Homo-oligomer: A and B are copies of this chain.
């Protein structure tokens, strides 16, 4: 389980770094709180962070469900794929929002796999197989 915990902590730290970039973009592009619009590049950073928040509520339970019914090492490996995919997603989105697709898929696919795997395992367990 330590591997899954490491991936969980790294995903949180990645999310915190995205948040720090939002804060810096606030200053650089003069978007004063509580506004979240007003400069295109700020909005890209903000959307990266917000979308990552949405992914994490999928990723973190998914990691633990998959670990419980299948294998923690495989869960952690899928989590590493997510981390890499998110970096590609974030870099792509900030450069050009139209090109965020590849990184998005690479980070969303492993999280979806974790959840569907966890669901399958839990159902098989509940019906006693």
Residues of A whose CB lies within 8 Å of any CB of B are: 2-3, 5-6, 8-10, 12-13, 15-16, 19, 32-37, 40, 43-44, 46-47, 49, 53-54, 56-58, 60-62, 65, 68-69, 93, 97-98, 100, 112, 115-116, 118-119, 122-123, 125-126
Copies in the complex: 3
Which residues on the B side are within 8 Å of A32 (C-beta)?
A: 97
A98 to B35, CA, bound (A): 12
A61 to B6, CA, bound (A): 11
Which residues on the B side are within 8 Å of A98 (C-beta)?
A: 33
Contact between A100 and B53 (Cβ–Cβ < 8 Å)? no
The residue from B6, B34, B122, B125 contacting A122, defined by CB atoms under 8 A apart: B6
Contact between A10 and B119 (Cβ–Cβ < 8 Å)? yes
Contact between B9 and A119 (Cβ–Cβ < 8 Å)? yes
A3 to B33, CA, bound (A): 35
Contact between B6 and A58 (Cβ–Cβ < 8 Å)? no
Instruction: Please indicate which of the listed interface residues A2, A43, A112 has the most CB atoms of chain B within 10 Å of its own CB.
Output: A2
Which residues on the B side are within 8 Å of A57 (C-beta)?
A: 12, 15, 53, 56-57, 60
